[in-house]
Amino acid sequence: MRNDQSLKGVLLAFAAFAAYSWSDASVKLIDGALSAYQSSFIGAVFGLVGFPFLMKPGDRWTDAFRTSNRTLWFLRFFATSAGTIGSVIAFTYLSMAEAFVLIFLLPCFVTIMSVIFLKEQVGVRRWSAVVIGFVGTLIVLRPGFRELSIGHLGAVFGGLSGAISIVCYRAIGPTEKGISLYSAGVLGVLVICGLLMITDFRLPNLEQWLFLAGYGLLAALAAILMMYAANHAPAAMIGPTQYSQMLWAVLFGYMIFGDHIDLPMLAGIVLIIGSGLLTLARERIRNVPLPPAIATDPQGAGVTASQDEADR
């Protein structure tokens, strides 16, 4: 029976990351016609639809603003807005595969930040995973051999912001309500991007409204699916499913955007995904708590909920 429940959880996680991938493809289809701030803001407005479904029995609307650590709540507030802007820029200027491969540096950033800010003890294998991840990044970027763009910077910021959110969760602990973490991300995007878009606001046309709706609603759906996935399977089983996004990225890139993957990028993808899986495996062995499976941005969902959070 437990195996059936775990399988259901894993399948739900695959569905969640498929929804996140479709969400990313939707914002990419806007093709920079709107500012990253405006796309992020409108996407977050649509993302508010997910609030009622993410509330658990006993949760109140006021819990969205209640936290055990206001400083870290606000850190997530700002980090999520920066990461969302970065990811929109990345998907606008890069192929989906290249954007994902840089965002997937997230586990490497988590390891480094955990050492610096949480004083975690990191062994040779986890440091090796970090090195492998950065080697893979150098292979993908090939600095000095190809021109780098603001899209590459945006993707790195996307991964970095996701790592900050994870470290915030570890610092706060598993007692924080999931709805509080979700609201910190959504409200951060609404406030920060809402202010930044004022000077460059453009009224979207019908097609752009459809893409923006897809961007926000599919991300909300993904967050809901991740919550249900965490109810059925442990985080260690859900975590690796995030890399299925790369398959969607390659598929969308080839069929919709006309992207192609060369051999160096393929090698870099293999190294970075291998680095992330090695990090997840080591953290499973060390029983490191993983963050709740709710996020407003794709990279924030990269590492999934602990079963303690799911069962609360």
Answer whether residue 309 shows pLDDT above 70. Answer: no
- Greater confidence (4 vs 168) lies with 168
Q: What is the pLDDT of residues 192-230, one digit of tens each?
A: 999 999 999 999 999 999 999 999 999 999 988 988 888
Q: How confident is the model at residue 15 (pLDDT cuts 50, 70, 90)?
A: very high
Q: Dihedral sign for Cα 54, 295, 216, 78, please.
A: positive
Distance (Å) of CA 147 to CA 105, 261, 262: 20, 17, 16
Say what the pLDDT of residue 247 is: 87
Cα 178 to Cα 291: distance, rounded to the nearest angstrom: 9
What's the whole-number mean pLDDT along residues 143-163? Answer: 86
| Residue 272: strand, helix, or coil | helix
Cα 79 to Cα 83: distance, rounded to the nearest angstrom: 6
Distance (Å) of CA 257 to CA 31, 91, 95: 10, 11, 8
Answer whether residue 290 shows pLDDT above 90. Answer: no
Q: How confident is the model at residue 287 (pLDDT cuts 50, 70, 90)?
A: low
Task: Note whether 140 and 264 are within 8 A (CB).
Answer: yes
Say what the pLDDT of residue 144 is: 63
Q: What is the pTM of this model?
A: 0.85
Task: Note whether 229 and 293 are within 8 A (CB).
Answer: yes
Task: Note whether 86 and 155 are within 8 A (CB).
Answer: yes
Query: And the tokens for 159?
Result: 């991964």
> Any residues with CB less than 8 A from the CB of 125 and at least 6 apart, and which?
278, 282
Integer Rg of the chain from CA: 18
Answer whether residue 289 shows pLDDT above 50. Answer: yes
Q: How confident is the model at residue 173 (pLDDT cuts 50, 70, 90)?
A: low
Cα 231 to Cα 235: distance, rounded to the nearest angstrom: 10
**Residue-range domain boundaries for the chain:** 2-307
Say what the pLDDT of residue 214 is: 96
CB atoms closer than 10 angstroms to residue 70: 11
What's the whole-number mean pLDDT along residues 114-141? Answer: 85
Closest CA to 243 of 276, 213, 211: 276
Q: CB pairs under 8 A, 24+ apart, for 148-151?
A: 149/93, 149/94, 150/89, 150/93, 151/89, 151/90, 151/92, 151/93, 151/94, 151/98, 151/99
